[in-house]
């Protein structure tokens, strides 16, 4: 299977607690379109947006209790 072009990536990606710690670019993205890796805090709010590419991440099940 070939890698999809960056235009085919969803602008919103749902992740689970198993995907933490969250970073962007994620492993499914085409390496040719990668930007510097940035770790995103998502546990407290249940949402995060990458400051480089604008990809929005949503934590399935919402915020994790006990995170500030």
pLDDT at 57 over 50: yes
Mean pLDDT score of the chain:
84
* pLDDT the model gives residue 21: 95
- 3-31 pLDDT, tens digit per residue, is 444 555 558 999 999 999 999 998 888 88
pLDDT at 60 over 70: yes
Q: Rounded to an integer, what distance in angstroms lies between the CA atom of residue 9 and that of residue 16? A: 18
Residue 25: name the closest of 37, 9, 8, 13 by CA: 37
% of the chain surpassing 70 pLDDT: 81
């Amino acid at each position: 299977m070939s890698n999809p072009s960056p235009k085919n990536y969803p602008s919103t990606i749902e992740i689970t607690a198993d995907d933490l710690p969250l970073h962007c670019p994620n492993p499914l993205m085409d390496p040719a379109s990668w930007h510097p890796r940035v770790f995103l805090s998502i546990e407290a709010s249940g949402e995060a947006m990458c400051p480089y590419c604008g990809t929005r991440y949503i934590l399935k099940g919402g915020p994790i209790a006990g995170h500030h």
